[in-house]
Amino acid sequence: MKRQNRKNKRPINLTARDRAFLGRLGDFGLLSTEQVKYLYFPSLHRTRKRLLQLFRHGLVRRIERPTRLGEGSKTYLYRLSPRGARLISASTPRSYSGKGSHTLSPLYAEHQLAINRFRICLELALRNCAELTLESWRADREVKLEVPGDSSREVCPPTLVPDGTFCLRAEGRSYTYLLEIDRATSPLSRLRAKILGYLRLFASSGRVGPIQGGRFRVLIVSSGTTRVGHLVGLIQALPATIRRPDIFRLASEHILDCDRPTLLLGTLWQAVSADRTVLHGQPAFPSLRSSRQHQVNHQCAVQNPILDTGGHGPGG
What percent of the chain clears pLDDT 70, i.e. is strictly above it?
77
Query: What is the spatial distance between Cα 311 and Cα 173, in angstroms, rounded to a whole number?
Result: 14
User: What pLDDT band is residue 211 in, cutting at 50, 70 and 90?
Assistant: low
Do the beta carbons of residue 132 and residue 286 sit within 8 Å? yes
Q: What is the mean pLDDT of residues 204-233?
A: 83
Domains and CATH numbers, the chain: 2-104 (1.10.10.10), 109-303 (no CATH)
Higher pLDDT, 12 or 169: 169
Q: What is the pLDDT of residue 65?
A: 83
Q: What is the pLDDT of residue 310?
A: 41
Q: What is the pTM of this model?
A: 0.84
Beta-bridged to residue 32, according to DSSP, are: 77
Residue 292 pLDDT exceeds 90: no
- SS3 of the chain: the string is CHHHHHHCCCCCCCCHHHHHHHHHHHHHCCEEHHHHHHHHCCCHHHHHHHHHHHHHCCCEEEEECCCCCCCCCCCEEEEECHHHHHHCHHHCCCCCCCCCCCCCCHHHHHHHHHHHHHHHHHHHHHCCCCCCEEEEEEEHHHCCEECCCCCCCCCCCCEECCCEEEEEEECCEEEEEEEEEECCCCCHHHHHHHHHHHHHHHHCCCCECCEHHHCCEEEEEECCHHHHHHHHHHHHCCCCCCCCHHHEEEEEHHHCCCCCHHHHHCCCEEEECCCCCEEEEECCCCCCCCCCHHHCCCCHHHHCCCCCCCCCCCCC
Count the Cβ atoms, other than its own, within 10 Å of residue 240. Answer: 8
Q: What is the pLDDT of residue 73?
A: 66
Q: What are phi and psi of 139, to 5 degrees?
A: -75, 170
Query: What is the spatial distance between Cα 89 and Cα 22, in angstroms, rounded to a whole number?
Result: 10
Q: Which residues contact 312 (CB under 8 A, 6 or more apart)?
A: 175, 176, 215, 216, 217, 247
Q: What is the mean pLDDT of residues 35-43?
A: 96
User: What pLDDT band is residue 121 in, cutting at 50, 70 and 90?
Assistant: very high
Q: What is the mean pLDDT of residues 58-85?
A: 84
The per-residue pLDDT for range 166-199, each reduced to its tens digit, is 999 998 899 999 999 999 999 999 999 999 999 9
User: What pLDDT band is residue 207 in, cutting at 50, 70 and 90?
Assistant: low
User: What pLDDT band is residue 75 in, cutting at 50, 70 and 90?
Assistant: confident
User: What pLDDT band is residue 90 in, cutting at 50, 70 and 90?
Assistant: low
In one-letter notation, the amino acid at residue 304 is: N
Query: What is the spatial distance between Cα 212 and Cα 171, in angstroms, rounded to a whole number?
Result: 18
Q: What is the pLDDT of residue 154?
A: 76
Q: What is the mean pLDDT of residues 122-150?
A: 90
Q: What is the mean pLDDT of residues 194-205?
A: 89
Instruction: Please choose, from the candidates 295, 298, 245, 301, the residue with its C-alpha nearest in 3D space to the C-alpha of residue 274.
Output: 245
Q: What is the pLDDT of residue 297?
A: 37
Q: What is the mean pLDDT of residues 191-211?
A: 81
Mean pLDDT over all residues of the chain? 83
Q: What is the pLDDT of residue 102?
A: 60
Residue 269 pLDDT exceeds 60: yes
Residue 93 pLDDT exceeds 80: no
Q: What is the pLDDT of residue 203?
A: 87
